[in-house]
A and B are shown apart, each in its own frame.
Chain A
Amino acid sequence: MADITLAPPTTTRKTGFKDFFAAIGRHRGLRHPKIRLALLILVPILVLTALAPVLPIQKPLETNLRAMMQVPSIEHPFGTDKMGRDILSRTLAGVQISLVVGFSVAMIALMSGMVLGTLAGFYGGMIDRAVMTVVDIFLAFPSLLLAIGLVSVMGTGLVPVILAISLADVPRFIRLQRSQVLSLRSRAFIDAARTINAPQSWLMTRHIVPNTIAPMLVAGSIAAANAILIEASLSFLGLGIMPPQPSLGNIVRDGQTYLEQAWWISTLPGVVILLIAVGLHFLSDGVRELLDPRSRQ
Chain B
Amino acid sequence: MAEYATKKLAQMLITVLGVITLVFFTLRLIPGDAASAMAGDTLSGEALQRLREQMGLDEPLFAQYFGFLLDIATLNLGETITTRVPIAELILRAMPITLTIALGTIVLSVLISIPLGTLAAYMAHKGKRWLDNALTGTAMVVDLMPSFWTALVLLLIFSLALGWFPASGQLNWSNPGGVALRLALPIIVLSLSQVAMLARITRTAVLEVLNEDYVRTARSLGWSELRVLFRHALKNAALPVATIVGLSFGNLLGGTVIVEFIFTIPGLGNLLIAGINSRDYQLVQTLIVLYALIFVVINFATDLVYKALDPRVQF
Contact = CB atoms under 8 A, between A and B. Distances in A.
Nearest to B296: A140
A263 B156 contact: yes
A225 B152 contact: no
Interface residues of A, number: 41
Interface stretch (A144-152, A187-195, A207-215): A144-152
Given A148-B272, A237-B261, A237-B273, A143 B250 contact: yes
A24 B257 CA distance: 38
Interface of B (DSSP majority class): helix
A233 B251 CA distance: 12
Contacts of A277: 144, 146
A176 interface: no
Interface stretch (B2-10, B23-31, B104-112): B23-31
A149 B291 CA distance: 11
B170 to A, nearest CB: 21
Given A136-B15, A140-B296, A152-B284, A233 B276 contact: no
Contacts of B14: 133
A138 B21 CA distance: 11
Contacts of B149: 252, 266-267, 270-271, 273-274
B148 A232 contact: yes
A150 B156 CA distance: 32
Interface in A137-180: 137-138, 140-146, 148-150, 152-153
Contact of B146 (A140, A239, A260, A274): A274
Contacts of A136: 15, 18
A141 to B, nearest CB: 5
Given A142-B295, A148-B276, A153-B29, A225 B144 contact: yes
Q: Which of A141, A233, A236, A273 has its CB near the most chain B CB atoms (within 10 A)?
A: A141
B258 interface: yes
A65 B277 CA distance: 31
Contacts of A233: 146-148, 254, 258
B288 interface: yes
B153 interface: yes
Contact of B155 (A237, A249, A259, A273): A259
Given A232-B148, A233-B148, A274-B149, A142 B254 contact: yes
A145 B254 contact: yes
Interface string B265-305: 00000001100110001001000100110011000000000
Contacts of B15: 136-137, 140
A281 interface: yes
Contacts of B156: 259-260, 263, 267
A278 interface: yes
Contacts of B29: 153
A256 interface: yes
B242 interface: no
A229 interface: yes
Contacts of A263: 156
B251 A152 contact: no
Interface string A220-232: 0000010001001
Interface of B: 14-16, 18-19, 22-23, 26-27, 29-30, 140-141, 144-149, 152-153, 155-156, 160, 249-255, 257-258, 261-262, 272-273, 276-277, 281, 284, 288, 291-292, 295-296
20 contacts: A137-B18, A137-B19, A138-B22, A142-B291, A144-B255, A145-B250, A145-B253, A145-B257, A148-B257, A149-B26, A233-B148, A233-B254, A236-B146, A236-B148, A259-B160, A260-B160, A273-B149, A274-B149, A278-B141, A281-B140
Given A144-B253, A144-B257, A263-B156, 13 more contacts: A140-B296, A142-B295, A143-B250, A144-B251, A145-B253, A153-B26, A233-B258, A252-B148, A255-B152, A270-B146, A270-B152, A271-B149, A274-B149
